[in-house]
Structure 1
Amino acid sequence: MSTTPIKLIECPRDAMQGIHEFIPTAIKAEYINLLLQVGFDTIDFGSFVSEKAIPQLKDTSEVLSRLDLGSSVSKLLAIVANLRGAQAASTHEAIAYLGFPFSISETFQLRNTNSSIAQSMDTVKQLLEICDKKNKEAVIYLSMGFGNPYGDPWNAEIVAHWADELVSAGAVILALSDTTGVSTPEKIKELMPVLINRFSDIEIGLHLHSTPDTRFEKIEAAYACGCRRFDSALKGFGGCPMAADDLTGNMATEDLISYLSAKAEPLNLNMEKWQEAVWFSQKVFL
């Protein structure tokens, strides 16, 4: 058991965003309301991005209006891809975190947010200003943090360089993100200690995509390196539709719960509500 509390970020947004058939707003809201009762630190519930880019999440504002936050300890996170989205998300008092995918792959940054890395750094700086004014916190994802399928340069020094730039700009939460499932225990053990040791005052998390057969070894590598902030999705649903034609699923929340419970980590989760969410997920992910 560690002295630093574990933060589990449940990501129904990531789980749903690549599904082509539109999930009714009421179903989305009912599912997220169940997840809100489990006791996760944060629920990554929706995104304020172009309806053309991610049509599944065009109803994020309406979903938000149907959420029951009164009895939940969880905070809400919404993804934004540009300043327009950041401004829109920041008007909602119920949203605590604005997440921005900052790719260290130039190709993917253009593909995902229609802007270069340099332009995206400017966006991050303005996003941090919006967060300061609106009493929000920014979560910056180091997207393609473990490599990319486009042949763009990647190594640990590049990751550390951009982490330095983001922290210098004022970021206090970074999530090293494996967008296409290319992370390995070896890469995790190479990168996480560098970031955790270099930025002792910064919260460093992991957003891993994985196939089922490699999930536990990745969790084990991250935990051993001192990672205490984990993104995941129930049953490992989802993936990034902007990254590849074949979606690589998210880290499965139940695998995280199983591993961390075995390490005697106090997760303080309502497992009855979790089981209800698992059952209800059959209505969401047909």
Structure 2
Amino acid sequence: MPDLPSSVHVREVGPRDGFQNEPETIATADKIRLIDLLVRTGVKRIEVTSFVRPDVLPQLADNTEVLAGIDVPAGVSRSVLIPNERGLDNALAVADLFEECGVFLSGSETHNRKNVNRSIAESLAGLQKVIPRAREAGKQVEAVIATSFGCPYEGDVPRDRVLDLAVALRDAGAQELGFGDTTGMANPRQVREFFVAARERLGDDVEITAHFHNTRGQGLANALAALEAGCTSFESSFGELGGCPVPKGATGNIASEDLVSMLHEMGVDTGIDLAKLLEASRAVAEVLGRPLGSHTLVAGPVDWHR
């Protein structure tokens, strides 16, 4: 087994990627309470909300109220998702409420059109305007490429196409490149080879982040494969919330507590208190009134002293 890093970064994306995929809108007060629990788990980066148009994404229409209402400890970085220049304008109107911007496009032409009604080329051209403006405003920028490992409409997404897009986004000013397995089509061998190739293409001056969904039950296996390939930055969602609003059957992200539990058992530090993270996941399950997909939430963490 390859040597593993001693520590990794985990960005919690549940308040955005998770909440936006719920069929009913979560009350603003509940969002604030849940985020306040999450930011006290030891997580250092959290995706709070999105500035997508409220008629497109009503679940996150209270973006400004949530940002203004949360109580975030020093050292925790708040991120917001930006779809386009108008979204950036709206976000920068409350620029003091967040530190990071996430932007996105798809590696699949069909998925990109279904998701944002644009070609990949049109999306890239737009982001090449958004990213420099966000950087000029003092924001850290992560550019995410969805369907990096496969598309439910097109099947295979060529790795070279994805990495070409990543290079273009890096050259536009993105300091972090996230690769999303948006509908859970990746497998561990593919993931390992992908992240080795990504580091070779992108160099060491940009952060490379893995974003896996657990649609087909391979999320943690893929996270381990990325870790073995040298990836030290991951995104996950408490309770295994999330999904993709476009294709049917695209279930949630890997559960943050499952990822943290696995990493800690292997001696890889995350800086996150698993007990506090489980408390936050139990709280969101109560708010939603349904069981969640997280395994650690059901079974509890491993206790070697029993």
Q: What band does the TM-score fall into relative to the shorter chain?
A: over 0.9
SS at match of 1:213: coil
Distance 1:266 1:221 in 2: 17
Distance 2:160 2:139 in 1: 30
SS at match of 1:101: strand
After TM superposition, list the pairs within 5 Å mapping 1:1-286 onto structure 2: 5-12=7-14, 13-69=16-72, 71-91=73-93, 92-151=95-154, 154-199=157-202, 200-211=204-215, 213-241=217-245, 243-286=246-289
Q: Which residue of 1 aligns with 2:294?
A: none
Distance 2:259 2:115 in 1: 28
**Is residue 243–residue 253 contact of structure 2 (8 Å, CA) maintained in 1?**
yes
1:227 aligned partner, one-letter code: C
Question: Residue 209 of structure 1: CA displacement?
Answer: 0.7
In the alignment of these two chains, the number of paired residues is 284
Instruction: Assess, with a 3 A threshold, how the Cα gap between structure 1 residues 194 and 211 changes in structure 2: closer, same or farther.
Output: same
Question: Residue 213 of structure 1: CA displacement?
Answer: 3.3
Task: Write the deviation string for residues 30-56 of structure 1: whole angstroms up to 9, x where unpaired.
Answer: 001110111112111110002122111
* Backbone CA RMSD of aligned residues: 1.8
**Is residue 8–residue 230 contact of structure 1 (8 Å, CA) maintained in 2?**
yes
Distance 2:116 2:276 in 1: 35
**Is residue 80–residue 100 contact of structure 1 (8 Å, CA) maintained in 2?**
yes
Q: Which runs of 5+ in 2 are unaligned?
A: 290-306
Question: Residue 5 of structure 1: CA displacement?
Answer: 4.3
TM-score by length of 1: 0.93
Task: Write the deviation string for residues 10-39 of structure 1: whole angstroms up to 9, x where unpaired.
Answer: 112111111111211100110011101111
Question: Residue 4 of structure 1: CA displacement?
Answer: 7.1
Task: Write the deviation string for residues 127-154 of structure 1: whole angstroms up to 9, x where unpaired.
Answer: 1222122110111001110111222762
**Is residue 31–residue 284 contact of structure 1 (8 Å, CA) maintained in 2?**
no
Percent sequence identity is 31
Distance 1:225 1:271 in 2: 25
Moved over 4 A (4+): 1-5
**Is residue 141–residue 176 contact of structure 1 (8 Å, CA) maintained in 2?**
yes
Distance 2:117 2:256 in 1: 31
Q: Which residue of 1 aligns with 2:303?
A: none
**Is residue 2–residue 265 contact of structure 1 (8 Å, CA) maintained in 2?**
yes
